[in-house]
Structure 1
Amino acid sequence: MPSRHHAHRLRTGRYSEEGQIYLLTAVVLNRQPVFSSFKTGRLVVEAFRKAQEEQFANSLAWVVMPDHFHWLIELQNTPLRTLMARTKSRTTVTLNRELQRAGSLWQPGFHDRAIRREEDLQTVARYIVANPLRAGLVEKVGDYPLWDAIWL
């Protein structure tokens, strides 16, 4: 788990720009594989959909791994910290209710990387959705149920 000093450094210099494309990553506390089942993984997917419905972000690609997620978005009407706080809060509340548990679900903070427009977004999306393949969870990307990309 990152130290408080490290978590603070993650936030230093963070800037949210509407219309900017970001690759976001959040990790489960102590890397517990709470999203190893399709049912619990769908809770994260529903949070992504809710963020899109509320016009906070357009989802371009995502993958929900057993202990983290990667989410490629185009930011809309909210700062990154608000988008991620709401997404993590929604999943925590829903998962705690679903699994009859209490307490934190996510490590503090999150990682973000702004994607330049000249970068090939489809290449970034392919990299994201191939995460289960690289992790050895499946032999073909299509065999993993918790991913999507607008191009694929």
Structure 2
Amino acid sequence: MSRKAREKSKSGIYHIMMRGINRQCIFEDEEDCTKFLRVLEQYKDKCGYEIYAYCLMGNHVHLLLKVGEEPLEQVMRRICGSYVYWYNLKYDRIGSLFQDRFKSEPVEDEAYLLTVLRYIHQNPLTAGLVKDIEKYKWSSYSEYVEKVKLVNIDYVLEMLNEDRGKAIKIFIKYNHELNNDVCLDMSEKNRITDEEARTIIKKVCNIRNVTEMQTFDILTRDKYLKELKEKYCLSVRQLERLTGINRGVVLKA
């Protein structure tokens, strides 16, 4: 059965999502995240693309990108190929790292571009990794409000207001707004089921029943909760439901 043709963007702007094969984590530590961002920067001039937003999560990546000289498929082959080559050398592994081909959706107007940008920046908040989006280290949010490193912030900020100071204030307020935005993401069938989550919790914590986590001392409990959220991408809601540990505790860990 042939694959469905990728929908082309008239504006050249795409929201892109890449996921680790078999839900595998693709960023084990900070060095991995730093390397991926360096790869993005390395090919930015070579391929002629612009980046408006990014967020690196445990087992997936979101990008908001505008293609330039090279088509999207070629750009992503360069980015993925370079990172996977480095990753496999570091961890002494072979084979694919990303699952299937990357997903993409065209972004054709300013309103949806802002929606996608907010959705990307709120990913860590939605996943329960942080309580404030500015606390997450591996998204482009800080580049808009602190120091630019990789992202073209002018395109978005000039869209919000001609005055840079006012534009940043509008940006901050908009990115913190509660919403029901629905954008490109991992389909529900690819999310970690409760059965799979129980298996992960038992293996990581070396316990026979997931509710045994309630008996751990605070430091041990919080260490495992942090690992289960960040490395294995279990959601706060799922951990609360399966372990019986209070949501506030899971969120804070």
Taking structure 1 as the reference length, what is the TM-score of the superposition? 0.83
Q: Structure 1: any 5+ residue segments left out of the alignment?
A: none
Task: Work out the CA distance in 1 between the residues paired with 2:58 and 2:127.
Answer: 10
Task: Work out the CA distance in 2 between the residues paired with 1:136 and 1:127.
Answer: 14
TM-superposed deviation, 1:132: 0.8
Secondary structure at 2:14's aligned position in 1? strand
TM-superposed deviation, 1:23: 0.5
Q: Which has the larger radius of gyration?
A: 2
Task: Work out the CA distance in 2 between the residues paired with 1:13 and 1:123.
Answer: 25
Matched, 1:93 2:85: yes
Q: Structure 2: any 5+ residue segments left out of the alignment?
A: 142-152, 158-170, 172-253
Task: Work out the CA distance in 2 between the residues paired with 1:56 and 1:117.
Answer: 21
Task: Work out the CA distance in 2 between the residues paired with 1:137 and 1:36.
Answer: 15
TM-superposed deviation, 1:37: 2.1
Counterpart residue identity of residue 130, structure 1 = Q
TM-superposed deviation, 1:64: 0.8
Alpha-carbon RMSD across the aligned residues, in angstroms, is: 2.0
TM-superposed deviation, 1:100: 2.5
Change (3 A) 1:52 1:18: farther
Higher relative contact order by CA 8 Å / sep ≥ 6: 1 or 2? 1
Counterpart residue identity of residue 134, structure 1 = T
Matched, 1:38 2:30: yes
Matched, 1:52 2:44: yes
Secondary structure at 1:147's aligned position in 2? coil
Task: Work out the CA distance in 1 between the residues paired with 2:92 and 2:48.
Answer: 29
Task: Work out the CA distance in 2 between the residues paired with 1:100 and 1:116.
Answer: 41
Task: Work out the CA distance in 2 between the residues paired with 1:136 and 1:75.
Answer: 31
Secondary structure at 1:26's aligned position in 2? strand
Is 42-51 or 109-118 further displaced after alignment? 42-51
Counterpart for residue 95 of structure 2: 103
Q: Deviations over 1:71-128 (max 9, x none)?
A: 0011101111111111110110111122232221111211111101242423321210
Work out whether residues 43 and 91 of structure 1, in 8 Å CA contact, stay in contact via their aligned partners in 2. Answer: yes
Paired-residue identity, %: 28
Taking structure 2 as the reference length, what is the TM-score of the superposition? 0.52
Work out whether residues 56 and 83 of structure 1, in 8 Å CA contact, stay in contact via their aligned partners in 2. Answer: no
Secondary structure at 1:146's aligned position in 2? coil
TM-superposed deviation, 1:52: 1.1
Structure with more helix by fraction:
2
Task: Work out the CA distance in 1 between the residues paired with 2:22 and 2:62.
Answer: 17
Change (3 A) 1:113 1:65: same
- 1:119-138 correspondence runs (5 A): 119-138=111-130
Counterpart for residue 77 of structure 1: 69
User: Where in structure 1 do 4 or more consecutive aligned residues deviate above 6 Å?
Assistant: none
